[in-house]
Structures are given as structure tokens and as C-alpha cells.
């Protein structure tokens, strides 16, 4: 019989006449609860993130392509205006700068290589304010490459403390190895109990064999991930243990369980943070706004602003196709 809440693996609070839960038992409950909450948050985040990414493909990117195509049209419009015989030298200088600024962004940032010939055509004519800075940046290596740490090859004694481990260090390492073996054993014990109960190879009934095969897939997946909580959930779900069994676990056993659970909680926290950062980057947002509400608000704002820009640029391109309007506009543009 499945548990009512598969995420709830905890040691029940004792009655009034019984001693309170130990520190290890309290830590076990805290960690299983924390892991359950993290798993739910990750599932919810993945669901909403998928929706947001679909909106990028269906809403934002088509608008961006339309906006960039309008800017391509503007570059070509400026190119044609540059070639007109009545275009003055100051106007040509302004047009060249506008063309280079727009075309370089569209080529470099959006891969619109169709504008590369136009960009090369005007690159020499456009005013440059960054040439000297670029020259300096190519001549000088980064500071971290210029400053090399000093090494003292004449002091071999400095390496001795690293070679000779102290007795305390050796003792700590030995204790750590024992703990790691006990932790591995704790997970394997749960795994082997489930394997004995649900391995399908010797099951004569075909329907039951299929059921056990499905269970064993879940068991194996949990074991390969060293997912202690999943193994405990499976034991509870299929009545291999009950809540009373958890109550009777010795603190020494719980100590190893808690180490595994803490590691799981840390890994889930890292996974959740990575998902937040990954989604923020895909939306072009700083990781400081990596909450779902912040990212959804940001996407809504971006779509709204881009729609406005497309509308305004359409109007501007139509207006600038009139040579008189373009000349008046260039007059107010400063290089």
C-alpha cells in the first residue's frame, strides 16, 4: 500500500510519558523534510522553466528577428543614402558611423553575415574612438599573466611538512575511511533488502514479474545515486519497514544516515542553484534575479519593450525613406 505522502519519511514524536527525540533523530527529521522540500521546489522550477523557455521560442525570438530585420533594412537604407550624389561630406560621415555601429552589432551579436560587405565598406570611414585602447589591450597581457609568483627552489625543507603526515592527520584519515565504509554499507543494506524482496528473476507469475521489474528499476536507480531517502521511501511504500522501525534506529545508525542525507541536501541545493542560474542566463538576466517570479516578470517586460521597439522602428524606417526627412534627421544627429 503506497504511503499517503511519499515525501514524508520521519520519526514520529513520542508521547508525553516517553523521552524526547534525540539530536540524531531530530536531525534525521530535519534533513528528510529539507530534502523533500528541495525536490518539490526543483520539480516546480523545472515545470515553470520549461514554460518560460517555450515562451522565448514562441514570443520573444520572433519579435527579436523582426526587430533585427528592421535594423538590417535601416542599414541598407543608410547605405543607399550614402551613395546619393546630393549627400554632403558631413552627412556621409554620420551615415558611415551609423552603418558601422548598427552593422557591427548585427554581425557580431546576431550572426547576420549578410551585412559584412557593407560593414567592411564603411569601417575605414567611420570615426573611431577606441583604436588606442584596443592597441594597448593587445600589447599588454592581463595583470594576472604579467605577475608571476616567485618560487624558491632552494628551500626543500618547506616541502617536508607536506610529505610527513602527522599522527593526528593519519588518525583523522583512518576515521574518515571507516565512516565512508559505514555510510556505503548503510545504503547497501537497504538496497540488498529490497533486492531480496523484489528481484524478478525467480518470479513464476508473469504479471508479478512485470511489477517487480518496475520496482527494481526504481531501487537500482536510487542505489546508483546513493539516494538513501528514496530507498527508505521504497521500504516504507512496500512495507519493508514502518514508522516504528525508524523510531527504533540507534543513534549510531542514524549518524551515518544523517551524513548521507546531508550530502543529498547539499547536492539538491547545488542543483537548484544551478537551474536558477542556467535559466537566468538563457533569459539574459543577472543571476540575482533568478527567482521564478523575477524571471517571469523580466520576460514579460522584455516582450513588452520589444513589441514597442518594433512598432517604433517600423514607423521610423518608413519616415526615413523620404530623403528630405532623412536629411533633417541627420542634421540633428551628432557624431
Model pLDDT for residues 72-90, shown as the tens digit of each residue = 999 999 999 999 999 999 9
Instruction: List b or e across 95-112, with b for residues whose CB sees 16 or more CB atoms inside 10 angstroms.
Output: bbbbbbebbbebbeeeeb
Stated pTM of the model:
0.65
214 lies in some domain: yes
> What integer is the mean pLDDT of 271-276?
92
Same domain, 42 and 134: yes
34-48, 102-116, 154-168, 249-263, range with the lowest pLDDT: 154-168
Task: Check: CB of residue 196 under 8 Å from CB of residue 276.
Answer: no
Domain housing 314: 23-143+262-335
In angstroms, the CA 323 to CA 84 distance is: 10
Tell me the DSSP string of 70-136: HHHHHHHHHHHHHTSTT--HHHHHHHHHHHHHHHHHHHHHH--GGGHHHHHHHHTTS--SSHHHHHH
Half-sphere exposure of 15 (CA within 13 A, CB side): 1
Same domain, 122 and 200: no
DSSP 59: I
9 lies in some domain: no
Q: Which residue has the higher pLDDT, 229 or 27?
A: 27
Q: How many domains does the chain have?
A: 2
Element (H, E) at 39: helix 23-55
Mean pLDDT over the full length of the chain = 83
pLDDT of residue 218: 92
Chain centre distance of CA 293: 16
Q: Is 139 exposed, middle or buried (0-12, 13-18, 19+ CB in 10 A)?
A: exposed
Model pLDDT for residues 103-157, shown as the tens digit of each residue = 999 999 999 999 999 999 998 765 554 433 333 333 334 444 444 444 555 555 5
73 lies in some domain: yes
Amino acid at each position: 500500500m503506497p504511503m499517503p505522502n511519499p515525501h514524508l519519511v520521519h520519526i514520529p514524536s513520542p508521547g508525553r510519558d516517553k523521552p524526547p527525540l534525540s539530536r540524531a533523530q531530530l536531525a534525521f527529521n530535519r534533513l528528510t523534510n529539507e530534502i523533500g522540500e528541495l525536490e518539490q521546489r526543483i520539480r516546480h522550477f523545472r515545470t515553470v522553466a520549461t514554460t518560460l523557455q517555450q515562451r522565448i521560442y514562441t514570443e520573444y525570438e520572433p519579435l527579436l528577428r523582426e526587430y533585427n530585420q528592421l535594423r538590417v533594412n535601416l542599414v541598407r537604407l543608410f547605405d543607399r543614402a550614402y551613395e546619393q550624389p546630393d549627400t554632403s561630406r558631413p552627412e556621409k560621415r554620420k551615415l558611415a558611423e551609423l552603418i558601422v555601429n548598427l552593422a557591427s552589432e548585427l554581425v557580431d551579436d546576431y550572426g547576420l553575415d549578410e551585412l559584412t560587405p557593407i560593414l567592411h565598406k564603411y569601417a575605414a570611414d567611420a570615426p573611431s574612438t577606441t583604436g588606442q585602447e584596443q592597441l594597448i589591450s593587445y600589447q599588454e597581457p592581463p595583470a594576472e599573466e604579467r605577475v608571476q609568483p616567485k618560487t624558491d627552489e632552494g628551500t626543500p625543507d618547506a616541502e617536508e611538512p607536506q610529505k610527513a603526515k602527522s599522527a593526528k592527520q593519519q588518525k583523522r584519515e583512518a576515521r574518515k575511511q571507516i565512516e565512508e565504509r559505514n555510510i556505503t554499507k548503510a545504503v547497501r543494506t537497504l538496497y540488498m533488502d529490497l533486492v531480496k524482496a523484489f528481484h524478478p528473476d525467480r518470479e513464476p507469475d508473469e504479471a508479478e514479474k512485470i511489477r517487480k521489474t518496475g520496482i527494481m528499476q526504481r531501487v537500482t536507480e536510487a542505489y546508483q545515486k546513493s539516494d538513501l531517502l528514496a530507498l527508505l521511501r521504497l521500504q516504507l511504500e512496500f512495507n519493508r519497514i514502518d514508522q516504528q522501525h525508524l523510531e527504533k534506529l540507534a543513534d549510531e545508525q542514524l549518524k551515518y544516515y544523517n551524513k548521507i542525507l546531508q550530502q543529498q541536501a547539499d547536492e539538491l541545493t547545488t542543483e537548484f542553484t544551478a537551474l536558477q542560474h542556467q535559466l537566468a542566463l538563457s533569459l539574459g538576466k543577472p543571476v540575482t534575479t533568478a527567482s521564478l517570479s523575477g524571471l517571469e516578470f523580466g520576460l514579460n517586460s522584455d516582450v513588452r519593450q520589444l513589441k514597442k521597439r518594433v512598432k517604433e522602428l517600423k514607423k521610423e524606417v518608413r519616415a526615413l525613406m523620404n530623403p528630405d526627412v532623412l536629411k533633417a534627421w541627420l542634421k540633428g544627429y551628432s557624431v
